[in-house]
Chain A
Amino acid sequence: MTLVTALIVLLVALGVFFTFVAAVGMIRLPDVYSRSHAATKADTLGAGFAILAVAIYFGTVGEVLRAALLLVFIYYTNPTAAHAITRAAYSRGVDVWTTDDSSQEGSR
């Protein structure tokens, strides 16, 4: 196993880890707003690591360039999508979960 392969494995592992964190966050966090944190941040970084691994694996100028562009678009669209979703939730009057709510569970 060369150094490059090791690096690719590390990057893919990191990508999987952060995507996993995003999934766990989706399940564990209490409301649409905090779940959005999971969907944007962890997902974005997870995808970032995966794409970086792809770029290194192929290694040609074209692949790297296209991977970089892919990254740019993900970093642009992910927060925008999260913004659209939470904005919709907010204008529909979806409650924001606070620590007060954890004492009086199951109100919804």
Chain B
Amino acid sequence: MSDRGGILVPVAPSSTLEETVSYAVDVARETDGGIHLVRTVPGHHVDRGTLETDERVLERAERRAREAAPDEFPVTSALLGADQYIAGPAEHVELFLEYAYRHALDRIVVDPDYSIDATAPTLQSLESLLDDAAIEYERAPVAEPSVRPTWDELVRGGVVGIVAFGFYLALGGTVYGLLDPFVLGSAVVTALIAAGLLRNVAFETTPTAGPLLSTIGRGIVFVPYLLWEITKANVLFAYVVLHPKLPIDPRLDRVDAAVGSGMSVTAFANSITLTPGTLTVDADGHCLLVHSLNASAQEDLFDGVHERAVRYLFYGREGLELPGPAERGDASPIIGPDAPESEDGGAVAAEPSTGGDDDE
């Protein structure tokens, strides 16, 4: 390989970030190329606060690179994906590869403790995706990935523990009495186990009090709305099914949801499935494949009625302002009356959607 190309370092707020950057600088010095520190934003950029945290992490990496390297050494840093919706490891890797290609970088140095968000380290899926790409990558030989829980982990564990404790009492406490010593004792043990096991699984980002409470608050508005929509959906559905002529006109559409992060895509996909005449068939990142039972269901979908509701839930009032998928040009019919060229019978052109990393 040419020894001119630079090195790309995916940046995440891990404890081994500094070591990784130093190692990358060493490698880059040998090969005489520059070093590019790149951070992908996990799709919640509507929230200004998190974007600033991302910038701070990047600064941290840059500072380290400057310390480790002589003055003339080229260090570049970039924040990717802030202007688009990304969900799932594949879309993050795509951004890295695109960047590497654009800047003619031919090597990636990965932090062994790298993770896209606050969930368990994503190193494995990252590496398997990089295996498929035509690019060299290596794992930085750092002393040892962190074992000690960080403050963020403690916060996440705490929240999981409290929820688990409440759940346990809701089940056991209501039978044997809330103050029963056995119930209380086993509730504490259960909560601790749950917190220990699930602290890195249950959240995508470390919850902070303000946003968490306002999401819960918006959830209280969202749930009755969803229940009402579900009821409406069912009355319509009952009419269609019990009608002697069975007036259905199914179609399949692709919709690029304007929501980032796995959690909000899941919520959106599930609320599509539960509401009037629409059903999520497949999800690839934030691209959803939606089956509609008739034209009016499709219209609702294209106008972005549910999408706005889910955006409201996760992003607050700002989320309501975005135009629907049809207006944005993010909706395209695949099979059905509106499809570009309807080959009769609708031979499903199932594109090879690899992986199954989108329905956690």
Q: Which chain B positions have C-beta within 8 A of A17?
A: 238
28 residue pairs A–B, Cβ–Cβ below 8 Å: A21-B234, A21-B238, A24-B242, A25-B237, A28-B241, A29-B241, A33-B281, A33-B291, A37-B237, A38-B241, A40-B273, A40-B279, A42-B234, A42-B241, A44-B230, A66-B171, A69-B170, A83-B281, A83-B359, A84-B359, A87-B281, A90-B282, A91-B353, A96-B291, A96-B336, A97-B250, A98-B250, A100-B346
If the complex has contacts A83-B269, A90-B350, are A37 and B234 also in contact, measured as CB distance less than 8 A? no
Among B248, B251, B353, the residue within 8 A (CB) of A29 is B248
Contacting pair A40 B250 (CB below 8 A): no
CA distance A99 to B335 in the complex (A): 11
Residues A86 and B291 in contact, CB atoms below 8 Å apart = yes
Q: How far is the CA of A96 from the CA of B337 in the complex (A)?
A: 12
Q: Which residues of A contact B234 (CB under 8 A)?
A: 18, 21, 41-42, 45
CA distance A96 to B345 in the complex (A): 8
B residues apposed to A, CB below 8 Å:
167, 170-171, 174-175, 230-231, 233-234, 237-238, 241-242, 246, 248-252, 269-270, 273-274, 277, 279-283, 289, 291, 293, 335-337, 342, 344-348, 350, 353, 359
Known: A42-B237, A84-B359. 10 other contacts (CB 8 A): A21-B242, A25-B237, A36-B279, A42-B241, A62-B175, A79-B273, A80-B359, A87-B283, A95-B345, A101-B345
Q: In the assembly, what is the distance between CA of A78 and CA of B230, in Å?
A: 13
Binary flags per residue of A52-84, CB closer than 8 Å to B gives 1, else 0 = 000000001111011001000001101110111
Name the residue among A25, A30, A63 with the largest chain B CB count within 10 angstroms. A25
A2 at the interface (CB under 8 A from B): no
B257 to chain A, nearest CB (A): 14
Instruction: Check A41 against B233 for contact (C-beta < 8 Å).
Output: yes
Please name all residues of chain B whose beta carbon is closer than 8 Å to the beta carbon of A97 when the two chains form the complex: 250
**Which A residue sits closest to B339, measured CB to CB?**
A98
Interface assignment of A106: CB less than 8 Å from any CB of chain B = no
Give the number of residue pairs across the A-B interface with Cβ within 8 Å: 140
Specify which chain A residues have a CB less than 8 angstroms from the CB of B249 in the assembled complex.
98-99
The reply to whether A82 and B273 form a contact with Cβ atoms under 8 Å apart is yes
Question: Which residues on the B side are within 8 Å of A34 (C-beta)?
Answer: 248, 250, 291, 293
- Cα distance A90–B348 in the bound complex, in angstroms: 8
Which residue in B273, B346, B350 is a CB contact (below 8 Å) of A83?
B273
Query: From residue B17, how far is it (CB to closest CB) to chain A in Å?
Result: 35
B237 touches A100 (CB 8 A): no
Taking CB atoms, residues of chain B closer than 8 Å to A86 are: 279-282, 291
The answer on a CB contact under 8 Å between B252 and A96 is yes
Contact B282 A38 (CB under 8 A): no
Are B269 and A33 interface neighbours, CB within 8 A? no
- Residues of chain A contacted by B242 (CB below 8 angstroms): 21, 24
* A94 part of interface (Cβ distance < 8 Å): yes
Ordered nearest first, which 3 A-B pairs have the shortest CB separation?
A: A62-B174, A79-B273, A79-B270
Nearest-CB residue, chain A, relative to B288: A83
